[in-house]
Structure 1
Amino acid sequence: MSSAVTRTPAAASSDALAHFEALLAFETDCWDVHHAISNNRKDFILLDVRGEEAFQAGHLPESQNLPHPRINAESLKNFPEEQLIVVYCAGPHCNATEKAAIRLAKLGRPVKKMIGGVCGWLDEGFSLVEGVS
């Protein structure tokens, strides 16, 4: 008798390779973002796409707040068009990153989602900054 895990066979290794390599083109994680910030290697724009109140209560260092409904060509005019934008929100229970990423992609901007959001950041033991950055 098979388990629910093995009942559906795993993908072929070549398909798994393509899938997981593609994921890295769309996502980054808290550890990699923290490493970039901590080692003065942040070569991306870090965008907190939650509301202003949530941002002020606690956000990632070196992040900027732009709530996802406000993402448009005008609100992005001060960001270089070719620079990667990494978006994050509250965590896995929130889909603001997907909404933000869709808006950014429609505007032709390079974008990645930071998986885990604020919850993941805190789970890794990293600190938040309060107030306006």
Structure 2
Amino acid sequence: MASQNITTARSVLRVPPASPAAAAAYFGASLAFHADVSDVAHALEAGGDPGFVVLDSRSTASWDQGHVPGAVHLPTALIAEQAAGLLDPAVPVITYCWGPGCDGAAKAALALAELGYQVKEMLGGFEYWVREGFTFESGEGPERRTADPLTAPVDAEDCGC
């Protein structure tokens, strides 16, 4: 058993960790490009102006299936021609698509950045919005599902991270 632990540790550390300075630069940059579903939800739930707009970059059929309340619907393919009429260039945009297995939010963020917008991608997308138990809107009206205990704390307001 001890030799298996040594082999596993060697595998994990085959490429050594980055220096603390390089790690700080990398993770700091990562936070400049990404927003957490829970943080976005809490900012929107607090009321008032959150200082950003949420953009759903999916198709109309996907939007109708469910979306973040208050989000702007603008499919990625239409960003170049419609963003100026829907978005204020002075307000940062948080993009989302289906979930972690979809790069649609990154494509939308790229399209917006190329037009001069400040932008972040909401990690987890619509999937984690629903899985974490936040209210969403659909053709049926407002909906909310019980939070998945594998994605959100059961007995706390937030995960503490």
SS in structure 2 at match of 1:72: helix
Tell me by how many angstroms 1:81 deviates.
1.1
1:53-81 Cα deviation digits (max 9, x unpaired): 10111011111110011101543224211
Alignment partner of 1:85 is 2:125: no
Secondary structure of the 1:47 match is strand
Which structure 2 residues correspond to residues 8-27 of structure 1 after superposition, within 5 A?
8-27=15-34
Work out the number of aligned pairs and report it.
133
**Which residue of the other structure, out of 122, 137, 140, is the alignment partner of 1:114?**
122
Q: CA RMSD in A?
A: 1.8
Q: 1:52 aligns with which of 43, 54, 60?
A: 60
TM-score by length of 1: 0.92
TM, length-normalised to structure 2: 0.77
Deviation track 1:26-77 (CA, whole Å, cap 9, x = no partner) reads 0001011001111014221100000011011101111111001110154322
- Residue 92 of structure 1 deviates from its aligned partner by 0.8
Moved over 3 A (4+): none
Q: CA deviation at 1:120?
A: 1.4
Are the aligned partners of 1:27 and 1:113 in contact in 2 as well (CA < 8 Å)? yes
Kindly, what percent of the aligned residue pairs are identical?
Answer: 36
Pick one of 52, 64, 77 that aligns with 1:69: 77
Q: What's the secondary structure of 2:61's corresponding residue? A: helix
Name 2:151's counterpart in structure 1: none
* Secondary structure at 1:114 match in 2: strand
Equivalent position SS for 1:86 = strand
Secondary structure, in 3 states, of the residue corresponding to 2:122? Answer: strand
Larger radius of gyration: 2
Q: Could you tell me which amino acid in structure 1 is paired with residue 111 of structure 2?
A: R
CA distance in 2, matches of 1:78, 1:58: 20
Secondary structure at the aligned position of 2:38 is classed as: helix
Residues 73 and 107, structure 1, Cα contact 8 Å, conserved in 2? no
Question: As a proportion of its length, which structure holds more helix?
Answer: 2
1 or 2 for the larger relative contact order (CA 8 Å, sep ≥6)?
A: 1
Q: Name 2:148's counterpart in structure 1.
A: none
Q: Which residue of 1 aligns with 2:156?
A: none
Q: Partner letter of residue 61 of structure 1?
A: P
Unaligned runs of 5+ in 2: 1-5, 142-161
| AA aligned opposite 1:130 | S
